[in-house]
Amino acid sequence: MQAVDAETYLKALLSAPRPGSEQVLAFYDHRVGHICTDPRLLLLPLDDHICHRGDGLFESISFRQRTIFGLDAHLARLVDGAAALSITPPCTWEALRQHILDVALAAGVDNGDLRVFLSRGPGGFGISPAECPQAGLYIVALKKALPTAAFYEKGLTAFASAIPPKQEYLARIKNTNYLPNVFMAMEARQKGMDVAVTFDENGIMGEAAVANVGLVDAQGRLLCPEIRRILPGTTLLAAMEVAAERMPVVQMPIPRAAIDSASEMLLFTSSTLCVGITHFDGKPVGHGAHAGKPGPVALWLKDVLLDYMLKKGAPL
């Protein structure tokens, strides 16, 4: 094999297979300085440390009805993560926020997902951040089908993961080191279930691979894990706020045994808001008429969270 000229290489590059490209609506690369809608050009420099060291941050953001959910909460978490990793964005935070809005607008749809990546930046294949003169910023808008009523009525299945929770100093940073989460997703697929949930060495509940979890106990309280070895999910935090208007909300260490006596188990994500977990480790969650079914709190929260996100969100 011999080297070819740039024109030949570019032609081959643009015709190379790109699985999933049909989901890409628009994207922005700060090095280029333009928004593009041709997914063939959605490319990342391999020497960006986000590629070969996982040295970067990301946010998964949903938008519905031309409203971006929790944009400022996502940006606040990104700011905290950037401070923890000592990454300075290549633009002001105000400009970064506007870039997100611009990419969402360029997508040309009312509903979708966004991914925001703030990386150490390109500069070499070592491990030291010193070789990267400027951080990278990549924003992508993606197609996303809205969850159906049947999805919420069916609910999800979950199990105790063999993967331990992340260390505390990493868990609260939404970084691109997601190998434990990948293992959890593989576990779920192998078991034929939907959601893997971590538990620490003391049997205390953590989180799912890309979501937070909580319980409704027999006293009607919403129990949420302490924000220690879990990511502070924007939807979980919003759920705690809205639920407090109707029921007691308690952050506490949740032992695995609490699932057996719980009336409901809940999953919180940006895209599906709140979904009931109907079975855990093969056993129905809940008691009586709601056993093994999404409970009333899960169904109520997904509606009030949607109203909350639309009211508090950033309009396009």
Which of 83, 118, 143 is a domain's end point? 143
Cα 309 to its chain centre, rounded Å, is 16
Q: Does the residue 13 lie in any domain?
A: no
Tell whether 206 and 133 lie within a shared domain.
Answer: no
Number of domains in the chain: 2
DSSP for residue 161 = -
**87 and 137 part of one domain:** yes
Per-residue pLDDT tens over the stretch 208-260: 999 999 999 999 999 999 998 999 899 999 999 999 999 999 999 999 999 99
Specify the pLDDT at position 32: 97
> Are residues 132 and 172 both part of a single domain?
no
pLDDT at 221: 98
pLDDT at 228: 87
**Model confidence at 6, in pLDDT bands (50, 70, 90)?**
very high
Neighbours of 13 (CB within 10 A): 12
pLDDT at position 81 is: 97
Q: What is the pLDDT of residues 100-115, one digit of tens each?
A: 999 999 999 999 999 9
Sorted by sequence, the CB contacts under 8 Å of residue 227 that are 6+ apart come out as 172, 251
Same domain, 78 and 196: no
Are 48 and 122 found together in one domain? yes
Average pLDDT over residues 49-62: 97
121: containing domain:
23-143
Domain with residue 237: its CATH number is 3.20.10.10
- Is 267 part of any domain? yes
Residue 35 has pLDDT above 90, yes or no: yes
**Average pLDDT of 77-85?**
97
Put the strands of the sheet holding 112-119 in their side by side order: 34-36, 24-29, 136-142, 112-119, 56-64, 67-68, 314-315
CATH number of the domain enclosing 121 = 3.30.470.10
pLDDT band at residue 194 using 50, 70 and 90 as cut-offs: very high
Q: Are residues 93 and 159 in the same domain?
A: no
Q: Is the pLDDT of residue 261 over 90?
A: yes
Q: State the Cα–Cα distance between residues 76 and 91, nearest whole angstrom.
A: 16
Report, as an integer, the average pLDDT of 27-42.
97
